[in-house]
A and B are shown apart, each in its own frame.
Chain A
Amino acid sequence: MIEQFKNIWGRRELVYYLVTSELKAEHKTKVLGFLWSFLDPLLLMATYILLVVLIFDRGGPQFPVLLFCAILSWRWFTSSLSVAVTSITSKSRVVQTTYFPLAVLPLAGIIAGLVDYLVAFVILIPLLFAFDATFTVNVLWLPVLIIVQLVITIGAALFCAALGTYLTDLKNIVQFILRLGFYLSPILYSVTETVPERFETYYMLNPFAALIESYKNILVRGTPPSGYMAIAAAVAVIVFLVGFWYFGREEHRLVKAI
């Protein structure tokens, strides 16, 4: 495993180039270019405000900014996994020609998503002011939350990248799981107001329940991260190890399976 780390670290320049060329290509083909990094989550936010505030008549005064925090984090995760599932098959011509550690392909997708995530803070910060967010020292937890999310995303993405090469249907399955995860995480609602108390423990076993609730706490409410973050961090490490182990075991067979 340490060998694998070294291998990937040795090719960090390649990861950097894959990320920048991916972002460049993505933005070059569109008239509005990199503005979509802002527009995408904003439009998504508008859609859900329409649904929750206007149709269901729910959501408090800070609902838009809470929603935006949650959408940003979730969007990073979904884009990473969607890219990862086909990351090897979609580059079949490259991987059949040149030898390099295949893990850089899903990793590049995750880092491109992280860049998008951080860029969107340009919108998030004014929103925080506009909706009267409470700033406390708890905001310093942000890097910790991002790292926990990064660890879990790398594990899940590596697993999906390897299995998705064998099993084309994984793309559909992942899409379904992500949809389910969207509703089972506190994106459109908050845990304390919505989730029945007797289910709360089970509900919070979903690491993204703890993560998203914690993002909302530290950025908007000015409170510390959810106590369930400890479990989320443990789950993250397990997911990471499983993903890394499975990818490492299959890596040399993947190109042949394309």
Chain B
Amino acid sequence: MEVIRATDLGIRFKVGKRKRTSARNIVVGGFRRRGGESDDFWALRHVSFTVNKGDTVGFIGRNGSGKSTLLRVVGGIYPPDEGEVSVQGSVSTQFSLGAGFQSELSGVDNIYLNGILMGLSKKYIDSVLDDIIEFADIGDFINMPVKTYSTGMESRLGFAIAINVHKDIVLIDEILGVGDVEFRKKCEERLDKVMGERTILLVSHEMNAIRRFAKKVIWLDRGQIMAQGEPEEVIQQYLGS
């Protein structure tokens, strides 16, 4: 069953119009309601792919190729400017390190805040709180303000939340590249466990992680799909480019 379908998807960032700007730019450039096409920057264009339920799809490509933008589209953050995207099911969108964390508050407070942001109820979070704390495994730090955390601890907690709440689709952006060996192993074991029951989109520069988990790989370059399909084939094409 298909849970994600993107058809001729395009995401355009406007440079000079509706972009964050300053009064000086507006005064100098005038309110250009019709900024020329030449000002536009397409972060993604003509992107079409499908993802089946329970599959793990890996996204590879150089920095700035549009991988994270693509996850944001699936997460509902960027509506497409061109083409269509349909996503069936709930999405766990904790794919950036430490995002959503209110740094003055404790780890526990932040678990609630993040969960509620994702649209979960307090009652549900109560029921998975212990799992999250156990998985993050950062000891007494869980009751300390998040600002005292190391980067590694932040990402541990972030990943623990993303993987322990029940969502149909999990978006993971480079999370396997951080943390110590032990935690990475734990994450990979957990991924093994949920693979099949949940659909996972995985962005990584670690080809070994991609090889291990992905059933299908999509290679993006400058916002376009260069190749997609059999993991090893696509990885070889990418590495050979």
Give the B-binding residues of A (Cβ under 8 A): 11, 13-14, 17-18, 21-22, 24-25, 28-29, 89, 93-100, 165-169, 252-253, 255-258
B117 & A100 in contact (Cβ 8 Å cutoff) = yes
B2 in the interface (beta carbon within 8 A):
no
The smallest C-beta distance from B106 to any residue of chain A, in angstroms, reads 10
B78 neighbours in A (Cβ, 8 Å): 255-256
B186 close to chain A: CB less than 8 A: no
User: Are A98 and B19 within 8 A (Cβ)?
Assistant: no
The answer, among A21, A98, A165, A168, for a CB contact under 8 Å with B102, is A21
Instruction: Determine, out of B21-29, B175-183, B197-205, B222-230, the stretch whose residues face the partner at the interface.
Output: B21-29
Tell me if B100 and A29 are in contact (CB < 8 A).
Answer: no
Which of B91, B104, B112, B114 has the most chain A CB atoms closer than 10 A to its own CB? B104
- Nearest first, the 6 A-B pairs at minimum CB distance are A25-B104, A99-B76, A97-B99, A169-B23, A93-B99, A94-B100
Cβ-neighbour of A24 out of B18, B94, B109, B116 (below 8 A): B109
Q: For window 66-91 of chain B, which residues contact chain A by CB distance below 8 Å?
A: 72, 75-79, 91
Smallest CB separation, A17 vs chain B (Å): 5
* CA A166 to CA B26, docked complex, whole Å: 11
Residue in contact with B116 in the complex, picked from A14, A22, A165, CB distance below 8 Å: A14
Evaluate contact between B99 and A166: CB separation under 8 angstroms: no
Knowing A14-B117, A166-B20, A257-B19, say if A97 contacts B122 (CB, 8 Å).
Answer: no
Q: Is B118 an interface residue (CB 8 A)?
A: yes
Contact residues in A for B113 (Cβ distance below 8 Å) = 17-18, 21
Q: Are A100 and B119 touching (Cβ within 8 A)?
A: yes
Query: Closest CB-CB distance, A106 to chain B, in whole Å?
Result: 16
> Is there an interface contact between A97 and B105, defined as CB atoms closer than 8 Å?
no
CA A167 – CA B75 in complex, angstroms? 26
For A89, list chain B residues within 8 Å (CB): 20
Is B141 an interface position by the 8 A CB rule? no
Please, which residues of chain A bring their CB within 8 A of the CB of B122?
13
B residues near A11, Cβ cutoff 8 Å: 119
Beta-carbon contact of A256 and B13 below 8 Å: yes
B169 to chain A, nearest CB (A): 12
Contact between A168 and B21, CB atoms less than 8 A apart: yes
- Considering the complex, give the chain B residue whose CB is closest to the CB of A172: B23
Question: Are B72 and A96 in contact, with the CB atoms below 8 A?
Answer: yes
B173 CB to closest chain A CB (Å) equals 9
What class of interface size applies to chain B in its complex with A?
35 or more
Known: A21-B105, A25-B102. A98 touches B18 (CB 8 A): no
- Known contacts A21-B105, A97-B93; A13 and B116 CB within 8 A of each other: yes
Q: Give B residues with C-beta under 8 Å from A.
A: 11, 13, 18-23, 26, 72, 75-79, 91, 93-96, 98-100, 102, 104-105, 109, 112-114, 116-119, 121-122, 145
* Chain B residues whose CB sits within 8 angstroms of the CB of A17 once the complex forms: 112-113, 116
B21, B91, B94: the one within 8 Å of A166 (CB): B21
Are the C-beta atoms of B20 and A13 separated by less than 8 Å?
no
Closest-CB distance, A201 to chain B (whole angstroms): 33
A-B contact pairs, 25 of them (CB 8 A): A13-B121, A17-B113, A18-B113, A21-B113, A24-B109, A28-B104, A29-B104, A93-B98, A96-B72, A96-B77, A97-B96, A97-B99, A98-B77, A98-B99, A99-B75, A99-B93, A100-B117, A166-B18, A166-B21, A167-B21, A168-B20, A169-B22, A252-B79, A256-B11, A257-B19
CB distance from A200 to the nearest CB of B (A): 34
Q: How distant is the Cα of A118 from the Cα of B94 in the complex, in angstroms?
A: 36
- B contact residues around A95 at 8 Å (CB): 77
Residue of A nearest to B11 (CB): A256
Q: How far is the CA of A89 from the CA of B99 in the complex (A)?
A: 13
Do A165 and B112 form a contact, CB below 8 Å, given A13-B122, A93-B96, A100-B119?
no
Contacts of B98 in A (CB 8 A): 93
A96–B93 alpha-carbon span in the complex (Å)? 10
New contact pairs (9) apart from A28-B145, A97-B99, A256-B11, CB-CB < 8 Å: A14-B116, A24-B105, A28-B105, A98-B94, A99-B91, A166-B21, A167-B20, A256-B13, A257-B20
Partner of B95, one of A18, A94, A97, A167: A97
